[in-house]
Structure 1
Amino acid sequence: MNELIWIDGEIVDIARARIDPRDRGFTLGDGLYETVRVRNGVPTRVAAHVMRLVRGCALLGFPPPIDPHEFDDVMRRFLVTTDTVGDAALRLTLSRGPGPRGLTPPEHPKPTLTMLIAPWTKPAPVAAITARVARRDETSPLCTIKHTNTLDAILARREAASHNADEAVLLNHKGNIAEATIANLFAVIDGTLVTPPSSDGCLPGVARAEILERAGGVERTITPNDLARADEIFFSSALGIRSAIAMDGRTLSSRSVAESLPL
């Protein structure tokens, strides 16, 4: 079967899909996205993903194109149409839609909604560095939503690649740990599982919230010196957990907490 895309209520071959070139998601990064883990053909944690998406719409000031309660059904129908019966990653992208030239949003936006499916693979352990080229702005309201402008993360990931690493940890403007490029960070320090609070610039991750509930972790500010003495570091996203096998060149051998939390 050819690769299919769900775009504004229509399922078409991706080669025939069209988005208006004036779409603000393309021209300005004016949009949101969610990546949903699919298990055995069924989308997971849908309510949490939709809640964050709706919160993002409220902050950016445009409505979702369908009723929030319909997202689960729409995703399931798309999965059935694409014969997705195993594990997969479903990417949902929502933009404000087309608009005239300039930054001022159109008064009556017509949002664009797309969905794509990709194979899911078990996250592999990674070597990470602390990024120097970019930082998270913990004072920005954009830290609280999953928006489509990920240029800071792209710069940090390029920096990681230049050091033969797979992932980069971003600091905030105070010099404290915020998160990784595409995941939240957890560390075991002095026997306690800790993760940065949202006030330090990390995205309120769906998997992060589940880990805090299941493992009883603590939210607190983490400095680079704290991270340098962590016994274990791992990164969480909706697609799973990735253990850090090295951080800034220091080898990490413990993965006991990460392995006890399959997502």
Structure 2
Amino acid sequence: MKEETARLAPSDRGFTLADGVFETIRAVGTLPLWWPDHLLRLKAGAACLGIDLPYEDKIIEDAMSSLLLAEGHQEAALRVTLSRGPAKRRGLWPPGDARPTLLVTVAPSPLARSPQTVVIARRTRRNELSPLSRIKSLAYGDNIIARREALERGAGDALLLNTRGNLACATVGNVFLRFGGNWLTPPLTDGALAGIARSRLISFLGAREETIVAASVERADAGLISNSLGWSSIVRLDERELPPADEVLDLAPLYSC
């Protein structure tokens, strides 16, 4: 279906209340990378919000394959969005007769690997106590606020601290920092999302999950941000220059089908 003919109900709770979850998936040709892991996380997020998937796994997989084949991108970003669906009555309480909406979209997206300048966000923080910090919720308001702040301060992205002042994540990815020869990444209990790429990078880098206090962030000697579409070396953190991590790391094999 073309974008100009697609229709979303005005009362869809994904639109009105951010009542839903999503997954962004790298695809090479017609092959979605790490799809079984994305599907598991999609289901976990849906279960957290009490939303049922309206289709069987095979139907979703066939829809993605058909879309990738029709669009013909060599490298692409698939997005699977699930909302609770339209509500007959307004209000916060989830309707018992909701019909969930599942939307699959695709856009060209070469493997992301551009260097990144970052700042530590001051205007907002990640709530590590909220269940939403552990799922791919549609509610991205804090991430948008932090990204806007980064752009205003001359950077490309922001690192988010949690309510205790410990590092949690970037606006659209997990963070890995190197201290000496050791790579560290924030634990899930500090508000980090269980990233699909994150789990693979922990093994690849021999990284440790460890709380990183704000004061320690400034002592890192290298860093990178990862998500399912690629990674970015952190080349400036606040006002301090860092060497590009990808000069000594070849992460491309991790993102190959």
Whole-angstrom CA distance in 2 between matches of 1:23 and 1:247: 40
Report the CA distance between 1:209 and its aligned residue.
0.8
Q: How does 1:235-246 map to 2 (within 5 A)?
A: 235-246=225-236
Which residue is 2:60 aligned to? 71
Which residue is 1:97 aligned to? 85
Change (3 A) 1:254 1:80: closer
Which residue is 1:127 aligned to? 117
Change (3 A) 1:120 1:258: farther
The correspondence for 1:113, drawn from 97, 102, 105, is 102
Which residue is 1:32 aligned to? 21
User: Does 2:69 correspond to 1:88?
Assistant: no
Unmatched 5+ stretches in structure 1: 1-11
Whole-angstrom CA distance in 2 between matches of 1:219 and 1:230: 15
Give, as a single letter, the amino acid of the residue that structure 2 aligns with 1:27.
Answer: T
The correspondence for 2:165, drawn from 175, 190, 194, is 175
Question: How many residues get paired?
Answer: 251
SS of residue matched to 1:259: coil
Report the CA distance between 1:224 and its aligned residue.
1.7
User: Does 2:154 correspond to 1:164?
Assistant: yes
Whole-angstrom CA distance in 2 between matches of 1:108 and 1:90: 29
Give, as a single letter, the amino acid of the residue that structure 2 aligns with 1:25.
Answer: G
Report the CA distance between 1:256 and its aligned residue.
4.6
Tell me if structure 1 keeps the 8 A contact 2:177–2:184. Answer: yes
SS of residue matched to 2:165: coil
Tell me if structure 2 keeps the 8 A contact 1:241–1:258. Answer: no
Give, as a single letter, the amino acid of the residue that structure 2 aligns with 1:73.
Answer: D
Tell me if structure 2 keeps the 8 A contact 1:131–1:171. Answer: yes
SS of residue matched to 2:82: strand
Q: How does 1:199-214 map to 2 (within 5 A)?
A: 199-214=189-204
Give, as a single letter, the amino acid of the residue that structure 2 aligns with 1:89.
Answer: A
Give, as a single letter, the amino acid of the residue that structure 1 aligns with 2:76.
Answer: A
The TM-score, its normalising length taken from structure 1, stands at 0.92
Give, as a single letter, the amino acid of the residue that structure 1 aligns with 2:32.
Answer: P
Whole-angstrom CA distance in 2 between matches of 1:254 and 1:16: 44
SS of residue matched to 2:26: strand
Change (3 A) 1:93 1:258: farther
What is the percentage of aligned positions where both structures have the same residue?
A: 40
The worse-fitting range, judged by mean Cα deviation, of 41-50 and 171-180 is 41-50
Tell me if structure 2 keeps the 8 A contact 1:33–1:94. Answer: yes
The worse-fitting range, judged by mean Cα deviation, of 117-126 and 141-150 is 117-126
Tell me if structure 1 keeps the 8 A contact 2:125–2:163. Answer: yes
Report the CA distance between 1:255 and its aligned residue.
1.2
Whole-angstrom CA distance in 1 between matches of 2:66 and 2:80: 14
Which residue is 2:126 aligned to? 136
Tell me if structure 2 keeps the 8 A contact 1:54–1:68. Answer: no
The TM-score, its normalising length taken from structure 2, stands at 0.94
- RMSD of aligned alpha carbons: 1.4
Report the CA distance between 1:69 and its aligned residue.
4.6
User: Does 2:6 correspond to 1:14?
Assistant: no
The correspondence for 1:187, drawn from 177, 181, 184, is 177
The worse-fitting range, judged by mean Cα deviation, of 137-146 and 71-80 is 71-80
Which residue is 1:3 aligned to? none
Whole-angstrom CA distance in 1 between matches of 2:130 and 2:241: 33
The runs of at least 4 consecutive aligned structure 1 residues that moved more than 6 Å come to: none
Change (3 A) 1:213 1:257: farther
CA deviations 1:55-99 (Å, max 9, x no partner) are: 011110010111235433321122112233x10111111110011
SS of residue matched to 1:222: coil
Tell me if structure 1 keeps the 8 A contact 2:25–2:77. Answer: yes
Change (3 A) 1:68 1:258: farther
